[in-house]
Amino acid sequence: MKSSYIILAVTLLAMPTLVSAQTQIAYTAMLHRFRLQSDGHSQVMMIAHYLTDINGPRLTNSPGYISASEWAVKQLKSWGLQNVHLEPWGDFGPGWSVQKTYAAVTMPYYHTVVAYPFAWTKGTGGPIKAEVMQIPALDPDVVKSLGDKVKGKIILPLQTDSILRSDFSPDAVRFSEADLKMHTDKSVIRAEEIKGMVSYLSQLKRAIVLLQEQGAVALLNMSSGDRDGTINNSLWFSGKKNVTPGLPTLGISSEDYLAIQRSLQQGAKLLMELDVQTGFSIADQIAYNVIGEIPGTDPGLKKEMVMIGAHLDSWHTSTGATDNAAGCSVMMEVVRMFKSLNVQPKRTIRIALWSGEEQGLLGSHGYVKKHFADINSMQQLEEYNEISAYFNLDNGTGSIRGLYLEGNESVRSVFEEWISPLKNDAVTRLSPGREGSTDHVSFDAVGIPAFEFIQDPIDYETRTHHTNMDNYDHLMPDDLKQASMVVAWFVYNAAMRSDKLPRKALPGSGPWLFDAFKP
């Protein structure tokens, strides 16, 4: 009899441990399902292929962006998402695309030049042949002083840093644990910096207009720091309405630029052939985001939502693979896995693929203003209290190593629990800092819990970001599969949690950070 009591007592004492173990098994079972799905059935690279190789560059409102967004809508619908649509966010202005680019030096000898037009610049109106002329600086006062000397010339501003230095550090790297422990803020942009940038760009634009008025036929530019045929052609023209396209402006490789400059400085006469054809899309100047949903199933929570997103627009010198077809492919793969596994989230999961990110987070800002709150007044709309969190991915092709908490320390203990079973996947870092230059900022600015994932850098900053090298072949399949699994796990936890994620203190109202880009 005593032995029976002892067995019963031991069993009762062991029950909390058994229940805890069963709960933990049930908790990690979904992670295991996500892992199997991403390892053995992933479509993330198929998605990336269609966004890049098939649809091409996706500058906002360009034919490539429009075709990619329509393809994404069709794909999301085919997986069974609901309320899938293109949602307008505002009047952006004309789209633009490159139809032909040819550049070559023909004297003193013939050789082709690696060249790409700057966005929203006009074409040459057919093939042209002209002499190259160097000017001291791309400055309005300098250009004005030259008068009609620039007439009929291809202009090459003096590049003072005229030596390309070999870089002995690797292009592609991964974070060590020591790196991650030191990882805090990344790319945080201040209003003063944006104002300074806008002032600088305004000076350049005035100089370009003067060059055109004084008869120059084209302008060549070298982006500082680019080498090995890599060209960065972003940021000069915002593409918004009322921005003057100016004369044909091309970014050329550093190697070609400096070779031309050396020859001119030695008194050689250089002639070039250019044939640049560009097109402006003016029929519909409204810009659109891609939106879709997996409806929640809990009667009390299905009105609430967890949002995920990435920007679908890109720059135009390549196909925007790491910036940011990678993020879009992962987010689309996440909702595909949810539907394939028949996951029944308590809260609604809403995916957004943004446009206008490269011109100042325009698509996500417009969406937040329409659905949640206006930062200028901080007036909150009905959906403001229905969103639990927004998760963003926009740091290239690398595997996920953690998250930026964006100063929201109240979520640390929650996220520590979520990343606990991801230690073997090298997901370890919850940075207190901020990632300051992508679409989660639009949500964070009005007090919505919004987070950017920390990713291994690979060669994002050294080779692909905003360059002609940003193509499909720079994507890392295993990394994107890992990222899909990690994002799915975070989204699942946020969608199933009994409470919404805790929020930090409501920020004060004020002007939107990127309003300075408005013409």
| pLDDT higher at 517 or 415 | 415
Mean pLDDT within 501-510: 92
pLDDT tier for residue 193 given thresholds of 50, 70 and 90: confident
Who's near 492: CB < 8 A, 6+ residues apart?
Answer: 30, 34, 338, 343, 345
**pLDDT of res. 199:** 84
CB of 209 within 8 A of CB of 246? yes
As a whole number of angstroms, the distance between CA 277 and CA 515 comes to 31
**pLDDT of res. 18:** 47
pLDDT tier for residue 243 given thresholds of 50, 70 and 90: low
**pLDDT of res. 201:** 83
Q: According to the per-residue pLDDT averaged within each range, which of 103-117, 170-184, 228-242 is highest?
A: 103-117
Strand, helix or coil at 454?
Answer: strand
Q: If 0-12 CB within 10 Å is exposed, 13-18 middle and 19+ buried, where does residue 283 land?
A: exposed
Has residue 240 got a pLDDT over 70?
A: no
- Indicate the class that CATH gives domain 97-174+190-278: alpha beta
**pLDDT of res. 14:** 57
As a whole number of angstroms, the distance between CA 141 and CA 135 comes to 12
Q: Is the peptide bond before 140 cis (omega within 30 degrees of 0)?
A: no
As a whole number of angstroms, the distance between CA 15 and CA 361 comes to 52
From the CB of residue 297, how many other CB atoms can be counted at a distance below 10 Å?
14
pLDDT tier for residue 167 given thresholds of 50, 70 and 90: confident
Q: Is the whole model's pTM more than 0.85, yes or no?
A: yes
379-380 vs 387-392, strand pairing mode: unpaired
Encode pLDDT of 348-396 as tens digits. Answer: 999 999 999 999 999 999 999 999 999 999 999 999 999 999 999 999 9
| pLDDT higher at 238 or 447 | 447
**pLDDT of res. 518:** 64
Q: List the Cα angle 299/390/55 in 5-degree steps.
A: 110
Strand partners, 402: 429, 454
Q: If 0-12 CB within 10 Å is exposed, 13-18 middle and 19+ buried, where does residue 263 land?
A: middle
Encode pLDDT of 255-264 as tens digits. Answer: 999 999 999 9
**pLDDT of res. 189:** 77
What backbone torsions phi and psi does residue 313 show, to the nearest 5 degrees? -75, 160
As a whole number of angstroms, the distance between CA 459 and CA 169 comes to 11
| pLDDT higher at 187 or 94 | 94
Strand, helix or coil at 239?
Answer: coil
**pLDDT of res. 326:** 98
Mean pLDDT within 171-199: 85
- Residue 224: C-alpha distances to residues 9, 16, 84, 118, 232 (Å): 75, 63, 42, 15, 9
Encode pLDDT of 112-156 as tens digits. Answer: 999 999 998 899 999 999 999 999 999 999 999 999 999 999 999
Minimal CA–CA distance to 73: which of 369, 456, 458, 332? Answer: 332
Has residue 3 got a pLDDT over 60?
A: no
Radius of gyration of the chain (CA): 26
As a whole number of angstroms, the distance between CA 333 and CA 320 comes to 18
| pLDDT higher at 281 or 75 | 75
Percent of the chain with pLDDT over 70: 92
- Residue 3: C-alpha distances to residues 10, 37, 163, 354 (Å): 10, 48, 87, 67
Q: Where are the alpha helices (DSSP H) in 168-317?
A: 177-182, 191-213, 254-265
Encode pLDDT of 4-32 as tens digits. Answer: 555 555 454 555 554 455 556 666 899 99
Strand partners, 286: 91
- Assigned token pair, 112: 């082709």
Q: Do domains 37-92+285-517 and 97-174+190-278 have the same CATH topology?
A: no
Spans of all domains in the chain: 37-92+285-517, 97-174+190-278
- Give the DSSP letter string of 131-188: EEEEES-S-HHHHHHHGGGGTT-EEEE--S---PPP--S-S-B---HHHHHH---BSP
**pLDDT of res. 200:** 84
As a whole number of angstroms, the distance between CA 252 and CA 165 comes to 18
The length of the chain in residues reads: 519
DSSP designation for 458: B
Q: What is the mean pLDDT of the chain?
A: 91
- CATH homologous superfamily for the domain 37-92+285-517: Zn peptidases (3.40.630.10)
